[in-house]
Amino acid sequence: MNKQNKTMKATILSILLTIITMTVHAQKFQQEFGNPRKAFVETIAIPDHADSHYITGQNARLRIIAREGGMPLEGVTLRYKVGPEMWLPEQWDSICFAGGEAVVNMGTMNEPGFLACQYEFRTSDGKTAKDLVKLAFSPEEIKTLTLMPDDFRAFWQKALKEARKVPFEPEYHDIPEATDEHFLTRLVRLHVGKEKWILGYLTMPRGNGPFPVVLCPPGAGSQKIYPSDYFPNQGCIYMKIEIHDNDQLIPDDAYNVMRQQKCDGYMRRGMASRDSYYYKDVYVGCARALDFLCSLPEWDGKNAIVTGGSQGGALTIITAALNEKATMCAPFYPALCDLTGFLHHRAGGWPKFFSGFYKDGQVEIPYEQAVATLQYFDVVNFARILTVPTFMSWGYSDDTCSPTSVWSAWNEISAPKAKDITPSSGHWRFPASWEKCWQWMRRQMK
């Protein structure tokens, strides 16, 4: 026994010495080579209109500045192509950097929309630096290409009424790692339609409340979701939901196999009919999730917030439009806007139906049939019936949810609204944008 103890102690000591040695070596390496605070290659693209906004017919120029280690690039070739967003030409043009600058004449647009410039150049180490920049032309005049069916409201009112006949039958599972003296977190599974279940991480501040409620629908795909303490720290009940009824507690490897088998191509599933389309139960299910939050005795009875990004941004608008309990919504770069855009040779919203760009956007039924269904699911039509205060944030370098499609939805909103546009952001948000959103929410709260 003593011999085993000595051997174990020697092994532990050896491991500790190895860790210490590696740490010392790492520190010496950092001391010798430094820890850069800036990128070796720095690039910025500056349009001649600071806000990236132009009036149709105005000419736009893009000034691209690049430096390596602080030295302006000289004689390096910049390749670029310019065209309507998502409809860039195949052929590249080129220009050389002089004094660290290259100027691209992007031309103009005669109709409201976005002009894009994709550019790239080779750095001295053989790598490629590249970016995508989009400029707006009279975006306030962008009109949706999606029609609104005469029975749009009646269709969704009936669907929600039927779903509300189904009891929630909540199933709770404690999440100890996200629970402490300040919050209680549980995974809840809800029956939100005749054959539809969704799951959500429900995090509640300790105490009797009352508290505002915040619903967060998920982005596209079928990845796992995770609890968050941001809104509970602000004194709100928060639920992040998952729309496919995928078990969140199984190991990641098994989850990935399961979700690929179960959810692949869900955004195209059942498109032949408005009643069979996959998103019908999802839209109604999100509205029912807000019903559930508002049924909690801890709810303050005054504030019911919906917020999310991408597909979650779309579901945010849809939920707030369908559920009369919603008091405000904050979508970020919403998907599913102006879905017929690509049929008109104009950028449409994710999943880019009719574009032929990639698998998720494939339409395998006659286009007329698909359009007839999608009119009931396009976010622009929910934007038209939205009545609650709305904060929307998006960027212009987004090639997932095109700014053309987002503007088409924004321009249909007649409810009180505020926007936060960061032209340089893509399919993500800056922390400052979220802070603006939260401050807006606080001002709206009753």
Catalytic residues: 310, 398, 427
Burial of 216 (0-12, 13-18, 19+ CB in 10 A): buried
How far lies 446's CA from each of 205, 269, 303, 317, 443, in Å? 19, 40, 7, 20, 8
Which of helix, strand or coil describes residue 231?
helix
Q: How far is it, in rounded angstroms, from Cα 384 to Cα 112? A: 20
Measured in degrees and rounded to the nearest 5, phi and psi for residue 163 equal -65, -35
Nearest to 315 by CA among 395, 401, 373: 401
Tokens coding 17:
């010495």
Asked if residues 169 and 162 have their Cβ atoms less than 8 Å apart, the reply is no
Tokens coding 390:
């709305």
Which of helix, strand or coil describes residue 289?
helix
Residues in the chain: 446
Measured in degrees and rounded to the nearest 5, phi and psi for residue 383 equal -60, -35
Tokens coding 436:
């603006």
DSSP 8-state secondary structure symbol assigned to residue 342: G
Q: Which residues contact 200 (CB under 8 A, 6 or more apart)?
A: 187, 188, 190, 225, 239, 240, 241, 242, 289
